[in-house]
């Protein structure tokens, strides 16, 4: 698949606060911001108030919420950024979206994705 980096800027919105259950807290953005992005998981750079972090961006169907979502997990980051504007630049397409039947299978996939992202 030909991949072109995309820039997405938006305000962090509240989610379901399931990050502690799945092993990865995420910053949720309005999914309409990613309407031109192919669905799936990407490595990304995240800019928050002039600081830059590595992360993972997922755009696609959220099996827990049963809606489309745009979620960014910021690696090695644990601050409250609700309501803040962040800018995300996709770097590399990792995998297509997946549908999970339960939280255990989602947790397993997230653990694998995080392990790969930290390499």
Q: What is the CATH number of the domain that holds 92?
A: 2.40.30.30
DSSP 3-state of 15: coil
Residues 6+ apart with CB under 8 A from 106: 22, 63, 64, 100
Q: Is residue 74 part of a domain?
A: yes
Range of the domain at 70: 7-117
Q: Is residue 22 part of a domain?
A: yes
Q: Can you give the pTM of this predicted structure?
A: 0.88
The number of domains in the chain is: 1
Task: State how far the Cα of 64 lies from the Cα of 66, in Å rounded to an integer.
Answer: 6
- Express each pLDDT in 9-60 by its tens digit: 999 998 777 677 776 889 999 999 999 999 999 999 999 999 999 999 999 9
């Amino acid at each position: 698949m030909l991949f072109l980096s995309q820039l997405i800027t938006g305000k962090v919105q509240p989610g379901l606060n399931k990050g502690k259950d799945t092993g990865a807290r995420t910053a949720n953005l309005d999914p309409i911001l990613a309407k031109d992005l192919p669905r799936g998981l990407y490595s990304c750079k995240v800019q928050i108030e002039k600081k830059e972090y590595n992360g993972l961006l997922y755009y696609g169907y959220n099996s827990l919420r049963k809606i489309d979502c745009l979620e960014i997990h910021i690696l090695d980051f644990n601050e409250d950024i609700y309501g803040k504007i962040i800018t995300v630049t996709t770097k590399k397409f990792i995998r297509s979206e997946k549908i999970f039947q339960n939280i255990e299978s989602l947790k397993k996939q997230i653990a694998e994705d995080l392990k790969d992202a930290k390499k």
